[in-house]
Structure 1
């Protein structure tokens, strides 16, 4: 059972299904459905890793409010050890507008601000004991970029230039991103390996995924999904499938396949994992 430590954000999300994403003009639309659930990239990774058999510790930030308590309850119920720093501000909350084809618009409604961590000793102990340390994009997660274990970072829709991502990119031994804004993902991945990363991975949507290592580029196709139910968490599911496979000794190509297969299962499910 691999041990994975994650530092990063969780949220409480309202998901609204629409026939199509709204145009930028005043008008009225009717939802096909809506629900509330746990969200946030670190919650998605933690839930998927736990589903795949990893022993997961998640250090995150919530508010002292019903949303924060529900997020912690759901995560703990999935067998995840949650180290929750409680902020004076509300728990992170999103409004996600989604269409049936995988399109999504995410609106941040609340974003917590942590001024005084109280559980650093427990968090650092978990990080030291981990086989992999995942540090997600959040200011409160930045200190864990200094952990001794190999750092895994998901840059999401990084464009190759944004200043916010620079520290995460520099610290990561394993770099992930999608191809929404990077332009030429293969050149970017190759450059990251030349800069010292062990692995650099890009997900390409329906075109599959690719990874660069010192040995070169590997590519795999996406796994076909008969019906996309919910795109939330698919990238985190891919990340989790790849990470668990690599920790189990799989080569990069096999890990890409594992990530693609787990992402497909997530796309066919209404849940993050």
Structure 2
């Protein structure tokens, strides 16, 4: 499938796949020969790139997704999700098959993810012409950590299109993440594995191109570095009971980018992110659902700045 005609607001690069969701009685899960899973074990389309693309589309942005995808039942699930939600999708052949993972979700909504790394190869590449055509037709490109995105970074920088990335639970040291951190204009990451979030945030901005760095901290809100100033962003109140943290970071990033593309200041963008992330925590991981623009704006207006 090729890109829609006309301008793209956000091109999402990589991160297409399927997750198998298992609700477990507790995390960490004690060893046992077997567990009875009364809530069911469900496989659905949606990994980080899919959820960012879904969230952006739900907010009214013209979104296109580019990734490698297998000719397999899992790939069919991903294609069907994009068709159903009206997300533009360029799916290139992946002989190794569609990316997949197993997510164990505890009663408090925390998750443990098991990623199948056999579904990608370090030498995977996006065709240069395809990448350049889609990137130059876009106002912004969001780059996931998955292969073959790392190889695409030099070409993306060359286009001059603004870039964002999500480093997820980077510890500030793993060398795989660093090229993404230093190439992006907007960097998202989780503070979960950081012993000194401020140090890591300032290091990213000091060594790379980032104008904005956001480190999310769950119920403790987020750290926002913009214009050289570090501020704390309060967490937003979820609109319903928290059931699952899957996709909260993707929702935060998408809503922040929505605000940025609308010309909002960073603090307002971060408020949008907090509201969208809180909403995502109320949606079971077995469903692919994101907050809409009207609800995001209404909830943001009711939340303290």
Q: Which TM-score tier does this pair reach, normalised by the shorter chain?
A: over 0.9
Q: Does 1:156 align with 2:162?
A: no
The whole-number CA distance in structure 1 between the counterparts of 2:166 and 2:62 is: 20
Q: 1:170 aligns with which of 164, 167, 182?
A: 182
- How big is the shift at 1:120? 4.2
Q: 2:21 aligns with which of 1, 10, 15?
A: 15
Q: CA distance change for structure 1 residues 216 and 118 in 2, over 3 Å: closer, same or farther?
A: closer
Which stretch shows the higher mean deviation, 64-73 or 26-35?
26-35
Q: Does 1:71 align with 2:83?
A: no
The whole-number CA distance in structure 2 between the counterparts of 1:113 and 1:204 is: 30
Q: What's the Cα RMSD here?
A: 1.9
The whole-number CA distance in structure 1 between the counterparts of 2:142 and 2:281 is: 22
Asked if the contact 1:218/1:252 (under 8 Å) is kept, the reply is: no
Q: CA distance change for structure 1 residues 155 and 187 in 2, over 3 Å: closer, same or farther?
A: same
Q: CA distance change for structure 1 residues 248 and 190 in 2, over 3 Å: closer, same or farther?
A: same
Asked if the contact 2:10/2:61 (under 8 Å) is kept, the reply is: yes
Q: Deviations over 1:214-251 (max 9, x none)?
A: 24012221112231132211110000010100110111
Q: CA distance change for structure 1 residues 73 and 118 in 2, over 3 Å: closer, same or farther?
A: same
TM value normalised by structure 1: 0.93
The whole-number CA distance in structure 2 between the counterparts of 1:46 and 1:18 is: 28
Q: Deviations over 1:110-134 (max 9, x none)?
A: 6423667675423321111211111
Asked if the contact 1:151/1:171 (under 8 Å) is kept, the reply is: yes
Matches within 5 A, 1:27-42: 27-33=33-39, 34-42=41-49
Moved runs in structure 1, 4+ residues, more than 4 A? 114-120
Q: CA distance change for structure 1 residues 110 and 75 in 2, over 3 Å: closer, same or farther?
A: farther
Q: Which residue of 1 aligns with 2:296?
A: none
Asked if the contact 2:182/2:204 (under 8 Å) is kept, the reply is: no
Q: CA distance change for structure 1 residues 118 and 177 in 2, over 3 Å: closer, same or farther?
A: closer
Q: Which residue of 2 aligns with 1:87?
A: 94
TM value normalised by structure 2: 0.83
Asked if the contact 1:18/1:30 (under 8 Å) is kept, the reply is: no
Matches within 5 A, 1:214-233: 214-225=227-238, 226-233=240-247
Asked if the contact 1:63/1:91 (under 8 Å) is kept, the reply is: yes
Q: CA distance change for structure 1 residues 91 and 2 in 2, over 3 Å: closer, same or farther?
A: closer
Asked if the contact 2:10/2:63 (under 8 Å) is kept, the reply is: yes
Unaligned runs of 5+ in 2: 1-6, 291-305
Unaligned runs of 5+ in 1: none
DSSP-derived class of the 2:177 partner: helix
The whole-number CA distance in structure 2 between the counterparts of 1:68 and 1:177 is: 27
Q: CA distance change for structure 1 residues 26 and 19 in 2, over 3 Å: closer, same or farther?
A: closer
Q: Which residue of 2 aligns with 1:51?
A: 58
Q: Which residue of 1 aligns with 2:220?
A: 207
Q: CA distance change for structure 1 residues 116 and 31 in 2, over 3 Å: closer, same or farther?
A: closer
Q: 1:131 aligns with which of 139, 146, 167?
A: 139
Q: Does 1:140 align with 2:154?
A: no
The whole-number CA distance in structure 2 between the counterparts of 1:46 and 1:30 is: 34
The whole-number CA distance in structure 1 between the counterparts of 2:116 and 2:198 is: 35
